[in-house]
Amino acid sequence: MTHGDQDVPDESDAGSSMPVAPQYRSEPVAAASAERPSSVTRAVQLMYVGAALSVVGIVVTWATTSQLRDQIAAASPTLSSDDVDSALTISLTSATVVGLVAVGLWLWMAAANGAGRPWARVVASVLGGLGVLSAVFSLMTATGITVATQLLSLALAVAILVLLWRPASSEYYRARSAQ
């Protein structure tokens, strides 16, 4: 005889000298769907766009080397030509390293968020928040193509954050962490 989820011993077991432990039925529990929602898919696609923009940023930096050299010379007129060249090399190297690190972070976050890793959504949110702050501060002094890229970066970060925290996205992360 069963009572709820427990099997209750019937009276025929009453004469047994051994106590009967209740038996629990194992019924399949409906698993939460772990299918990736379109909001996460779009966020991941936008992360790939972010990686591509980081590559474009590296290319633009190298393509505008002469303007960068002029900016360095104008900002510090007391520097010798060799000092300007050294500062230019440091600037180009720094921009390239930072750009490559950004590409790596974008790709890592895209893969981890696409796989539904809850920690990745938190990390992407922190990086996205820092990206928003960086873009806002950069816009205060930006000119030309930098304004366009910073506005695009700002829009990209906000869109990704909104997509990652939509209800369907939250359910996906919950389901994936339960597996």
Asked whether residue 142 carries a pLDDT value surpassing 90, the answer given is: no
> What separation in angstroms does the CA of 145 have from each of 8, 16, 154, 176?
76, 87, 14, 40
Non-local (6+) Cβ contacts of 169 within 8 A are: 37, 39, 40, 43, 121, 163
**Least confident among 3-17, 74-88, 95-109, 115-129:** 3-17
Do 7 and 22 meet the contact criterion of CB atoms below 8 Å apart?
yes
The rounded mean pLDDT for the chain is 85
This prediction has a pTM of: 0.76
State pLDDT tens for residues 34-52: 799 999 999 999 999 999 9
pLDDT digits (tens, 9 = 90+) for 85-113: 999 999 999 999 999 999 999 999 999 99
Residue of 171, 177, 147 lying closest to 38 (CA atoms) = 171
